[in-house]
Amino acid sequence: MITLLYFARLRESLGLSSEQTALPQEVNDIGSLLDWLRQRGENWHDELAPGRAVRLAVNQDMATAETPIADGDEIALFPPVTGG
């Protein structure tokens, strides 16, 4: 099981702030996780589309598509933010 945390527009659009889920065996990095999540439906596909501004962190460390994920990880998905 992993924990997924959704922030800002993702939380609003997807209707979730967090969830725990078991991953299929082939989902072992951030890139394959995003591919798997996009298959959930239209909002998921649109919000997580390639090129769409979404950042991810695994266990509070910024992640790339190649970042491995494992059972027990906490994965945060959020839009980039700017400050002033």
Q: Is the pLDDT of residue 83 over 60?
A: no
Does residue 83 sit within a domain? no
Does residue 11 sit within a domain? yes
Does residue 8 sit within a domain? yes
Of the pLDDT bands very low, low, confident and very high (cuts 50, 70, 90), residue 82 is: low
Contact 31, 66 (CB under 8 A): yes
The 8 Å CB, 24+ separation contacts for 39-46 are: 43/13, 43/14, 43/15, 44/14, 46/13
Q: What is the pLDDT of residues 49-72, one digit of tens each?
A: 998 999 999 999 999 999 999 999
Does residue 69 sit within a domain? yes
The total number of structural domains that make up the chain: 1
Note down the domain range covering 67.
2-78
Q: Is the pLDDT of residue 84 over 90?
A: no
Q: Residue 10 is part of a domain; what is its CATH number?
A: 3.10.20.30
| Range in 17-21, 45-49, 50-54, 71-75 the model is least confident about | 50-54
The predicted pLDDT at position 9 comes to 92
